[in-house]
Copies of this chain bind each other. A is one copy, B any other.
Amino acid sequence: MISGADDAITRDGKALILAYDHGIEHGPVDFEPNPATADPERVFDLATHDAVTALAVGKGVAESYYPSYEDDVALLAKLNGTSNLWMGEPDSAVNWSVDHAADLGADAIGFTLYGGSNNEVEMAEEFRDAQEGAREHDMGVVMWSYPRGQGLKNDTSPDTIAYAARLGLELGADVVKVKYPGSGEAMAKAARMAGPTKVVMSGGSKTNDVAFLETVAAALDGGAEGLAVGRNVFQRENPGEILDALEALMFEGATVEEALTYTSAVAADD
């Protein structure tokens, strides 16, 4: 990682990435719980919230909407991705060149690596080109480090996530996005393995705000420097509330209890 390379997509050194690549990765089924979420404009509006430090979208969505939001949103250009219509060994097409992303004004690039897949070698080499291209354009580099494929049974075990985080450091990411490994302790190990590369967790409970915020707090305590959110936020009726809560928790020193006051959530045991 390059010191400061992530400044444009972090706040006080921490990242809250709003990810919106579901249209390509999963398709319209992800928008069904709340049909309004199919509209990227809604998500771009959400990304203007002060808690959100970067919005991750694909090329077409960025081309269509980013020009109207470039002053208010930091663009994390998600370069690769593939539909789930395809069912082979995990792989991901590079749908967006670094140069095109830079022309559009992207602040950083995002790239998925499926370590352990039969396509790992090829993906790592594609990542190399993307990472080095980003360096030339002074853009940050975020790796979605998701071990997957032949031989990997449980891709969220602490050891696998620690390895995934380390790959972020070894291969030159400024930020590495990993699945939540189940505990703050496991997250701490992953963070330690990533060294100066910042670890952001993805995932967490979608149904219970208390559990979700406690997981986030545990991850942050463990050394994660942020999180990536998607459906858990944008599918809500009032997504601004949870962003308010996350802002309090991540950037304003609030406790989980204090942060919860921003949401209409009720305690898990209610």
Contact = CB atoms under 8 A, between A and B. Distances in A.
Nearest to A117: B86
A149 to B, nearest CB: 8
A142 B151 CA distance: 32
A197 B62 CA distance: 12
Number of copies of this kind of chain in the complex: 5
B124 A93 contact: yes
Contact of A91 (B61, B121, B172): B121
In which size bucket is the chain A interface? 35 or more
Interface in A1-16: 1-2
A60 B24 CA distance: 29
A207 interface: no
A68 to B, nearest CB: 10
B195 A85 contact: no
A116 B85 contact: yes
Nearest to A150: B87
A167 to B, nearest CB: 6
Nearest to A26: B163
6 contacts: A38-B193, A38-B195, A40-B169, A58-B170, A60-B170, A85-B152
